[in-house]
Structure 1
């Protein structure tokens, strides 16, 4: 009777850990995306600085709130920080791509070939 209870306890612990990890990473991704989306009128250097500071503060808050052991502390700090920064950088890249003008304008008639004017 001891082994099935041990396996059940491990599975339950693993499920709770994965759910907590999903909640933490989702909240961090939303924080990074929202930080960059809301700070649209600031210059780029200020937006990047704000994103890095809020991501670091968020990861430190998660670590202090959850009270991780010393061996898990670097991973607990790095995962929310990297998730928030990656999400914010993805929003910045998408915004930069939308602002960039197309290099070759799309033709009005894709199948139309202009007459040869070389003679």
Structure 2
């Protein structure tokens, strides 16, 4: 197992929270359409309070570093996925639906897996190379 930098370790811990949010959004689906607006509002509040700051931190620190490393592909995909999830949260707020909740949950899970399996590996490799120089 790789030794994560302090910043990446912090972001990884937040990824665990993101996965819990995604799982809860999918598994705790309300039984009636009447309960959807309240459920969606709870998901939206958690997203705004916890995931939005996380996304902003990645956009301020990880994405510029990826670009410095010549990995615009990873930076672009990360940003596009952030924007997609922001859009899903707003769409859910405007028109709550079980379909959008599932789409949001799946998008969050795919995004976390992408970052953990691809983005973090590139950033850690760069950090290790810098430390060995």
Same-fold status (TM-score > 0.5): no
Q: State the TM-score bracket (shorter-chain normalisation).
A: 0.3 to 0.5
* Structure with more contact order per residue of length (Cα contacts < 8 Å, sep ≥ 6): 2
Q: TM-score, normalised by structure 2?
A: 0.32
Query: Max radius of gyration: which structure?
Result: 1
TM-score normalised by structure 1 residue count: 0.35
Higher share of residues assigned helix: 2
